[in-house]
Structure 1
Amino acid sequence: MKRWFILLFLLLSFPAAAQQELEIIQLRNRTVDQIVPVLSPLVEPGGSVSGMNDQIIIRASRRNITQLREVLATLDTAPRNLVIRVSNDISQESEREGAALSGRIELGQGGNTRIRGRAYDTVSTGSQNTSQRIQVMEGGSGYIMVGRSVPLPFRQVVLGQNGAVVSESLIYRDIGSGLYVTPRLAGDRVTLEISPQFEQERGRQGGADVQRLSTMVSGKLGEWIELGGSNQDESVRERGYTSYANTRGRDSRSIWLKVEEIK
Structure 2
Amino acid sequence: MDAFSAIYAKGVRPRYGEVIMIVGRSGTQKSGFALFWIASMNLPTLYFSADMSAFTASSRLASMATGQTTEQVEQGMVTNPGFFTDALKDSNITFSFGAPITWQQVDEELEAHVELHNSYPQVIAFDNVMDFEGAESDYTEQMAVMSNATELARATGATVILMHHASDKSWDAKADPWNPPSRDQVKGGLSEKPELSLSVALDPNTLEYKVACIKQRMGPSDATARNFAVLRCEPDKTRFHAFNRMVA
Q: TM-score range by the shorter chain?
A: under 0.3
Structure with the bigger percentage of strand: 1
Structure with the bigger percentage of helix: 2
TM-score normalised by length of structure 2: 0.23
Report which structure shows greater RCO (CA 8 Å, sep ≥6).
2
TM-score normalised by length of structure 1: 0.22
